[in-house]
Structure 1
Amino acid sequence: MSAALAGLAPHAARLAAARIPDLVAADSERAARALRVGPLYANFARQKTDAEAAAALTALAREADVAGALRALVDGAMVNPSERRPALHTALRSDLGDSDTARDAHAQAVAARARMLELIAELEASEVTDIVNVGIGGSDLGPRLVVDALGDVATGRFRVHFLSNVDGSAAQRLIRELDPARTAVVLVSKSFGTQETLLNGRILKDWLGGGERLYAVSANVPKAEAFGVAAERVLPMWDWVGGRYSLWSAVGFAIALAIGSDGFERLLAGAASMDAHVLEAPLEENLPVQHALHVIWNRNGLGYPTHAVLPYDERLALLPAYLQQLVMESLGKRVARDGSAIDHATVPVLWGGAGTNSQHSFFQALHQGTDVIPCDFIGTAVPAHDYADNHRALLANLLAQTEAFANGADVDDPQKVYPGGRPSTLILLETLSPESLGALIAMYEHSVYVQSVLWGINAFDQWGVELGKKIAGELLPALESGEGAQLDPVTAALIVEIRRRG
C-alpha cells in the first residue's frame, strides 16, 4: 500500500500551490456536488483536489478492495488479526451480515436489548430518578456524547450522569448533587477489572449503602457478582466488539435510560442505514469511503499532520472528544497488520471544539498559523429551539468560516492577510435526531475502518494503552510505602517528592 500511496505524490505536487476558489471555479458543478445519505449531506467542494486527484483516490480504494473489506467486516471475518477476532459492531444494529457468525452476533444483540428493556422497566417501577454510568474510554465517551446530544428529544424519565476519571474529586463533586436513596449505578467494564471503574464503583457502592441498586455491563459476570452486582442485573458484552465501537450494545444502557428505549432504537436505525449505504453505494458515491479518502489525501498526499472537527451545534460539543478515541486509538499504529514496520504516515492528530466558541479561542491559528489544518465542519439545518436569530447567526458563522478558510483575503497589511487554502468538508444534518446522530457516528466508524484498510493497519486492537496501565499497577505499592523494586530513577525521585508533600 505504501507504493500506492506514493502514487498520490504527482497529484499533490500539481495541486500544492492551487487556490481552492480556482478549483471550484474550474468546475461549474463542483460547488453544488454533494453526497446525500438519509438525513446527512456532505460537501467536499472545498477540499484541495481536482478530478484527476479524485479519480486517483477512488482508484486507490478500488485497488485495496475497500468494498470487499467492508463486506468482510460486516460478515464477521477476522479483521482483528492480533487478537484473532472479528469486529461486529454493525451486528449490534443491523442484520446485514451474510454469515452464521454475523447472524449469531445479531441474535445475541437483540436478546441483550430485550433484557435491557426489562431492567429499564424495573427501574421505572422504582423510585429511582438518577442514574450514574461508571466507565471510562468507550464505556463513557459514546454514551456520554449521545445523552448530551439528544437531551432535547429525550423521553426517558431518568437524569443520567457520568463518572469516568479515577480522580476522587470527580466522584466527590458528583455525589454532592445526588440522593443515594433515589440513585442507581451502572458499572460498565468488559473485564470488570478496569481500575478506574472499580475504584469509583466502590465509592458509589459504599455511598448507596450496598449493591441493591447496582447494575453492570460486562463480559465477566462472576467478577461483577463478587463485587456485589446480582447476576440478573448484569448485561452482556462480547469480545467481538471493541469499547470505542460499543455504544450500540448494552453499553448504551445509559442512553436508553436517558432518551427512552424508542429513542435508542431510532439511534440504531440511523446507524443501520449508514451500514446499508456503505455496503451498497459505489465508491464514488459512498460517503464514508469518500470521507476516508479525503483524510488519506490530506495526510499522505498533502502531508497535513492534524485534523479538526468543528461542530456548529452546542449539542455536539462532545463529538471531538468521542472521535479522538475512535480515530486515534483505532489508527494510531506504526506497524502493519502482519507486524511489519510501515513507511508512511497514519493517524492525524484529531482535535476540535464547538463553534462559535472555538472561533474565539484557536481559530487564529487555523486561519493564520504556519500549519494547515484540514477541518470537518458539522452543522444542523433546523434547530430544536425557537431562537431563530441565534440559529441564523450560528449558520452564518459556519458558512463564513468555511469560506474564509478556503478563500482567504489578501490585503496590503501582512498582519491582516488570510492565506486561505485551508481545506474543509461540510456535513449538514437536517435536524439533530437519534437517526441523524446514529448515521453520523456510523459514518465516522466506517471512515476509520476504510482508512485502516488503505494504510494496511489493524483498527481494532489498542496495545498502546497497556504499558502505562501495567506500570501504574506496579507503582501503587511504591506510592504507599515509598519502596519499590527497580524503580526508574526519575520515577523514584518523583515518588519521594510526592510523599514528602503528602
Structure 2
Amino acid sequence: MKSISPITTNAWKELRIHFNKMKNIHLVDLFKYNHNRFKNFSYVFKSNMLIDFSKNRITDETIQILLRLSEEMQLSQSIQDMFNGKHINVTENRPVLHTALRNFSHEPILVNNIDIMPKIRAVLNKMKHFSKSIISGVWRGYSGKKITHVVNIGIGGSDLGPRMVTEALKPYKNHLKISYVSNIDSTDVYSILKNCDFSSTIFLVSSKNFTTEETITNATTIKNYFLKKYCNLKDMKHHFFAVTANVQEALKFGIEQNNIFELWDWVGGRYSLWSAMGLSIMLSIGFNNFCNFLHGAYDMDIHFKHASFEKNIPVLLSLIGIWYNNFFNTQTEAILPYDQYLYRFPSYIQQCNMESNGKNIDRNGDKVCWQTGSITWGEVGTNGQHSFYQLIHQGTKLIPCDFIASTISHNPIENHHKILLSNFFAQTHALAFGKYFNNNGENTSCDHDVNHFSEKFKYFEGNRPSNSILFKIIDPYSLGSLIALYEHKIFVQGVILNIFSFDQWGVELGKVISNNIFQGLHGGKNYKNDVSTQGLIHFYNTFKNSMN
C-alpha cells in the first residue's frame, strides 16, 4: 500500500469544485429529473440483498469523480495486497487475512511462503467436532451432566462480534444457553456466579494475546470460584477452554492443550468472529449454519475482489461515506436496523469502524488535515424513531443513515412486520423528500407557504441522505454477507484516507495509566497525576476509608 495524501489528488480537487455545485441541490430535483435514478443507483447481491443508495446527494458525475479518486489512491492494488497476504498492517508488521478464514476456494494463501489454509481448516474441523460433542451431549461436565450452558469470557472483538451474531441468529439456535461476560465491572461476572450451574457449564476464555486485563480478571474470578466450590484442579479440563494466539499463557492459566483453539496474529480482534473466536456462535447455531455464515462472507469477498468499482457495493458505499464526511462535514453516520434480532449490530459496526479508522496520523507518519473515521452509532427499529429521529429530521446536523431490514419476519404475528416495514420505507422517504407532497406524489415543499408561525415548526426540509439494505430474511448467509460488506467498506475508506486501519494503538495509553493508578490504590508507589485525577483518587480513598 503506497502512501498518498488524498487531498493532493486531482480527484479530490475536482470533488471540492463539484461540492459547490451539489451542496444546494435537493433530492427532490435529483429524482424529478432522473426517473431511472433507483435503477441506476441500486444493486442486488446474489438475489438475496438489495442495496439502494439512490437517496444520496450524488449524481453520476459525483460517482465518476469518486471512482477517479479510488484510482489515484491505487485502491485496486491495495485490495489485491490484502487478499494476497501482504503486510498491510505496517505498524505491527502483519498481513490482514480475516478473509482467509472464510475462504472456500482451493487456492493456497501464503504467509511467509507457507500456506495457511491447512491450519485454518484443521481448527475449523476441531471446532466442528467439539461443537457437535457439546450439542449432542457426548461431552459431559465433571459430574457427568450434559452441558447446557456456554459462557464466553472476552471483550472487544472477542465479545462484540460473537455476541452480536449469536443474538442476530437466535431463530437458528439450539437448546444451549449462551452467555457473555466482558465488563471488568464485577456486576457483569456476578450475574454468572450467582445463577450458573458449574457442573453443566463450559467457559470459553477468548483472548487473542491472553493478557487482556478485563478478560483474564473475569476468567480468574470464575476459575477461583470453580476451584473453591469443587476443589479439584483436574475437573477444569471438563469446563475450561481457550481461544487464543498465546498458547503458553493459556497453559499457564490451567487450560489443557487439547482445550485450546488456535488463533493467529494476522487476525485482527474486531475481525475475528470468523475464526475460533466464533466458537460460541457455532455452539449456538451448529456447524452447518456456521458454514453458511462463512459462505455469505466469502461470496461478498469474491464480489469485492472482482467486481468493477462502478458496480462494487462496498467500494461505492465507502466512497459515498467519504463524500459526506469530508465535503459535507457530516462527522457521524447512523446504523438503523429494522429487525429486533440485529439490535447489537450498531454497536458491532461502531467498534469495527471507529477502532479501525479513528486515526489522525497518515501512512507517512504525518498528521492528517482531512476527516478520517466517522462517529458511528444507532438503534434498532422504531425505538430510534421515538428517541433521536427528531434531530435527524429537523436538527442542524446532517446525518447519513443506513437502514437495514428483511422482507420476511421470523416471527410473523398479525400485521407487525408490515407496520415495521412501513416505518422503514416512510423514514427513508421523509428524510429524503421532506413533508409536503401533493396527491401525485410530487414534492411541493418549495412552494408551500411556511410563513405562518405554527407551520414553521411542522416543516421538514428533507434532503437528508440514506442507504437502504433489504434482505429476503436474516439468516446465517445474509448476515455473513452484511458483515463482510461493512468490513470491506471500512477497509476501502482506510485506503483512500491514507491511514492504517488494522492497528489500535489508541487503546493502549489508558491501559498503562490505569495500571499505574491501580498500584497506587493498593498502597503501592504513588504516581503523580494532574490535579483533577489526584482529586478524584483522593475522594475515592476518603469515601472508601469512611465506609470501613
TM interval, short-chain normalised: over 0.9
TM-score (norm: length of structure 1): 0.97
Task: Report the CA distance shift for 1:72/1:424 in structure 2 as closer, same or farther (over 3 A).
Answer: same
CA distance in 2: counterparts of 1:399 and 1:265, whole angstroms: 32
1:29 maps to a residue whose letter is N
Structure 2 stretches lacking a partner, 5+ long:
1-5, 141-145, 228-232, 436-444
Q: Does 1:129 align with 2:148?
A: yes
1:75 maps to 84
Q: Does 1:37 align with 2:45?
A: yes
Note the 1:113-262 alignment, pairs <5 A: 113-123=124-134, 124-125=137-138, 126=140, 127-154=146-173, 156-209=174-227, 210=233, 211-212=236-237, 213-262=239-288
2:38 counterpart SS class: coil
1:75 Cα deviation from its structure 2 partner: 0.7
Larger displacement relative to structure 2 (364-373 or 66-75): 66-75
1:200 maps to a residue whose letter is N
For the Cα contact (< 8 Å) 2:96–2:268, is it kept in 1?
Answer: yes
Note the 1:374-453 alignment, pairs <5 A: 374-409=400-435, 410=445, 411=450, 412=452, 413-453=455-495
Aligned match for 1:2, one of 3, 7, 17: 7
For the Cα contact (< 8 Å) 1:153–1:259, is it kept in 2?
Answer: yes
1:356 counterpart SS class: helix
Note the 1:15-54 alignment, pairs <5 A: 15-33=22-40, 34-38=42-46, 39-54=48-63
2:110 maps to a residue whose letter is D
For the Cα contact (< 8 Å) 2:517–2:527, is it kept in 1?
Answer: no
2:103 maps to 94
CA distance in 1: counterparts of 2:462 and 2:524, whole angstroms: 55
Q: Does 1:349 align with 2:375?
A: yes
1:292 maps to 318
1:485 Cα deviation from its structure 2 partner: 2.8
2:499 maps to 457
Aligned match for 1:316, one of 338, 342, 361: 342
CA distance in 1: counterparts of 2:290 and 2:526, whole angstroms: 48
CA distance in 1: counterparts of 2:491 and 2:108, whole angstroms: 19
1:8 maps to a residue whose letter is L
Q: Deviations over 1:33-90 (max 9, x none)?
A: 3111122210111000011111111111122222221111111011111111110000
1:99 Cα deviation from its structure 2 partner: 4.8
1:305 maps to 331
1:357 counterpart SS class: helix
1:133 counterpart SS class: strand
RMSD: 1.5
2:538 maps to a residue whose letter is V
CA distance in 1: counterparts of 2:156 and 2:246, whole angstroms: 18
**Paired residue total:** 501
1:165 Cα deviation from its structure 2 partner: 0.3
1:444 counterpart SS class: helix
1:135 maps to a residue whose letter is G
For the Cα contact (< 8 Å) 1:324–1:350, is it kept in 2?
Answer: yes
Q: Does 1:107 align with 2:118?
A: yes
Superposed structure 1 runs of 4+ greater than 4 Å apart: 95-99
Give 1 or 2 for the bigger CA radius of gyration. 2
CA distance in 1: counterparts of 2:370 and 2:85, whole angstroms: 28
Identity %: 37
TM-score (norm: length of structure 2): 0.89
2:480 counterpart SS class: helix
CA distance in 2: counterparts of 1:441 and 1:105, whole angstroms: 23
Q: Does 1:371 align with 2:397?
A: yes
Structure 1 stretches lacking a partner, 5+ long:
none
